[in-house]
Chain A
Amino acid sequence: MNIPENLRYSKEHEWVRIEGDEAYIGITDFAQSELGELVYIEIDTVGQTVERDEVFGTVEAVKTTSELFMPVTGEIIEFNPSLDEADGDNPGLINEDPYGDGWIIKVKIADMSHYDELMDAAAYAELIG
């Protein structure tokens, strides 16, 4: 299972990549593998500030539905247009490239301490066994 060293991870299987005070957030390779083929990503929180651990969206796989939880409090400034049904509409990118082209949202982080409290790759690897 691919767990890049340069990312931080939440117990809800989201990853966070930091760029200044902004962050890209997606789901981990483990999460996409457990969910199977993704068919639709719903994010209707763009422009809103969502608290840590609150729901910011939903992913639909063939077999199951899963909610997405904010790993850090912040304002959602972008939904990956390649996933958005109004644009690229290619949710399968999350299966193909969960840490790259399959990023889900871009966030302006409100409290950097939330990022510091996330798991590193080693801790996340231990979580998923």
Chain B
Amino acid sequence: MKNTPLTQIHIALGAKMADFAGYNMPIQYSSITEEHLAVRKKVGVFDVSHMGEFIVSGKEALEFVQKVTSNDASKLNVGDIQYTCLPNTDGGIVDDLLLYRMQDDKTTGFPVFMLVVNASNMEKDWNWIASYNTFDAEMKNISDQTGLLAVQGPEATAILQKLTDINLSDFKYYTFQTGSFAGIDNALISATGYTGSGGFEIYIPADKTVQLWNAVMEAGKDTGIQPCGLGARDTLRLEMGFCLYGNDIDATTSPLEAGLGWITKLKKPADFVGKDWMTAQKEAGLKRKLIGFTMQERRVPRHGYQIFDHQENEIGVVTSGTQSPSLDQPIGMGYVPVDMAQEGSIIFIQLGKKLMEAKICNLPFVKI
């Protein structure tokens, strides 16, 4: 199991630790609900240094990125970020990722991109992307040299502003800037996150991660900044209906079925992996769709539970479920046939031997 630069700090703070994607990661420090609500109401900080970062650069870097991702990378200006995915060749997704359009290379003038991928998929993604590199482009894995903190919540901007001269209140969502942050040169400050509560993600050299953590904790001390683990990260993203790779999307689910049609640009000015089957699927019409639902009773749905209709026919499967700390109610997502996916429809979730009623609802579960 690998450590992040902060693993010892998490242990010293009394976090419950677990292996996640091969990293020794904090699951929770105090309680998932407490951490969750801190992010919704104030501010929380997450160590997400386990995420993978690849740099793609070179004369044909854009063409290469366009080939392997579904969104239209040609739309990005320097400083822009895009949510996108790597489609596979047979109807599914290799991974979802964030694509950063970095400053052009100073010496060559060629474009540079950073791809931020799921830790659990890092090696698979690297091999997949590399297998399509027939372009004049280079790949570099900087994951081990990169630390990453997510500082999320309505108070994040005010706290982080103490640590930098970059004006954080003018930041547009899904853009980034580089500069000095907490005395660390070349920090990358990104107006992104996986919680729906706003805030920033800050990339720094791995050996500066402890310095950044300490500075952020100090700056947020009076606000009651809360260290948050992967448990709260999951409940926060699920309340927003954000997909988690391995749960809601995987090698067998199409981005169109997952409600990610907006990151599949079939008309972009470049051919890309998966375009054929995506086009065919769109023309034929979708068979199933990822929906959100709330339970009518108190039992909590979990990944893998089966979904049934009124006639007790199996119609789908739960992909994510939890007790929503904001709603104090069980919520879940899952795939059901398109003709049963209307808001307000009643479905049944199998919990042990029982079928329990659930109602399909619009996403996100929580409006912020």
Contacts and interface: CB of A to CB of B under 8 A. Distances in A.
What's the dominant secondary structure at chain B's contact region?
Answer: mixed
A60 B356 CA distance: 15
Interface stretch (A5-13, A32-40, A73-81, A99-107): A32-40
A62 B298 contact: no
Contacts of A62: 32-33, 231, 235, 300, 322-323, 325
A125 B27 CA distance: 24
B316 to A, nearest CB: 19
B33 A42 contact: no
A65 B300 contact: yes
Contacts of A63: 27, 32, 231, 234, 322
Nearest to A95: B31
B302 interface: yes
B300 A36 contact: no
Nearest to A89: B298
Residue in B16, B32, B298 whose Cβ sees the most chain A Cβ within 10 Å: B298
What's the dominant secondary structure at chain A's contact region?
Answer: strand
A58 interface: yes
B28 A42 contact: no
B352 A58 contact: yes
A95 to B, nearest CB: 8
Given A62-B33, A62-B231, A62-B322, A39 B300 contact: yes
A58 B299 contact: yes
Interface residues of B, number: 19
Nearest to B352: A58
B32 A39 contact: no
A39 B325 CA distance: 10
A54 interface: no
A61 B235 CA distance: 12
Contacts of B298: 39-40, 42, 60, 85
B313 to A, nearest CB: 24
A62 B298 CA distance: 12
Interface string B259-298: 0000000000000000000000000000000000000001
B352 A36 contact: no
B173 to A, nearest CB: 28
A37 B31 contact: yes
Nearest to A36: B32
A60 B28 contact: no
Contacts of B299: 40, 42, 58, 60, 65
A36 B28 contact: yes
Contacts of A39: 298, 300, 323
Contacts of A67: 352
A63 B277 CA distance: 36
Given A36-B231, A39-B323, A60 B300 contact: yes
A60 B31 CA distance: 15
Contacts of B235: 62
Nearest to B322: A62
A65 B27 CA distance: 16
Contacts of A36: 16, 28, 31-32, 231
Interface string B23-51: 00001100111000000000000000000
Interface in B1-35: 16, 27-28, 31-33
B368 to A, nearest CB: 20
A87 to B, nearest CB: 14
Interface string A80-94: 000001000000000
Contacts of A60: 298-300, 323, 330
Interface string A27-63: 0000000001101101000000000000000101111
Interface string A8-27: 00000000000000000000
A37 B33 contact: yes
Contacts of B322: 62-63
Interface of B: 16, 27-28, 31-33, 231, 234-235, 298-300, 302, 322-323, 325, 330, 351-352
Given A40-B323, A62-B235, 6 more contacts: A37-B31, A40-B299, A58-B351, A58-B352, A61-B323, A65-B300
Q: Give the top 9 A-B pairs by smallest Cβ distance, nearest first.
A: A40-B298, A39-B323, A60-B300, A62-B32, A62-B323, A37-B31, A63-B231, A37-B33, A65-B302
